[in-house]
Amino acid sequence: MDLNVKIVIVDESPVRSAILEEGLREAGFTEVTRIAEMTNLLARIYAIDPDVILIDLENPSRDVLEQMFQVSRIVKRPIAMFVDQSDTASIQASVDAGVASYIVDGLKKERIKYILDTCISRFNAFARLQDELDRTKSALEERKVIDRAKGILMKAKAINEEEAYSLLRKTAMNENKKIAEIAQSVITAAEMFK
127 lines the binding site for other proteins (CB under 8 A): no
Minimum distance from CB of 93 to other proteins (Å)? 10
Query: By CB neighbour count within 10 A (0-12 exposed, 13-18 middle, 19+ buried), where does 150 fall?
Result: buried
- Residue 176 as a binder of other proteins (CB under 8 A): the answer is no
Q: How far is the CB of 112 from other proteins (least distance, A)?
A: 15
CB within 8 Å of 167: residues ≥ 6 apart: 153, 157, 159
**Binding letters toward other proteins, positions 87-126, x by CB under 8 A:** -x--xx--x----x--------------------------
Binding flags for other proteins, 53-72, as an x/- string (CB under 8 A): ----xxxxxxxxxxx-xxxx
Taking the CA atoms of residue 119, residue 123, residue 128 and residue 129 in that order, the dihedral angle to the nearest 10 degrees is 100
Cβ closest to other proteins, residue 85 vs residue 174: 85
Residue 166 within binding range of other proteins, rule CB under 8 A: no
Nearer to other proteins, 40 or 185 (CB): 40
Q: Which amino acid is at 85?
A: Q
Read out DSSP for 1-52?
A: ------EEEE-S-HHHHHHHHHHHHHTT---EEEE---TTHHHHHHHH--SE
In the chain, the amino acid numbered 42 is: L
The reply to whether 74 sits near other proteins by the rule CB under 8 A is: yes
81 forms part of the interface with other proteins (CB under 8 A): yes
Give, for 104, the enclosing helix (H) or strand (E).
strand 99-104
Q: Which residues bind other proteins (CB under 8 A)?
A: 38-40, 42, 57-67, 69-74, 81, 83-85, 88, 91-92, 95, 100
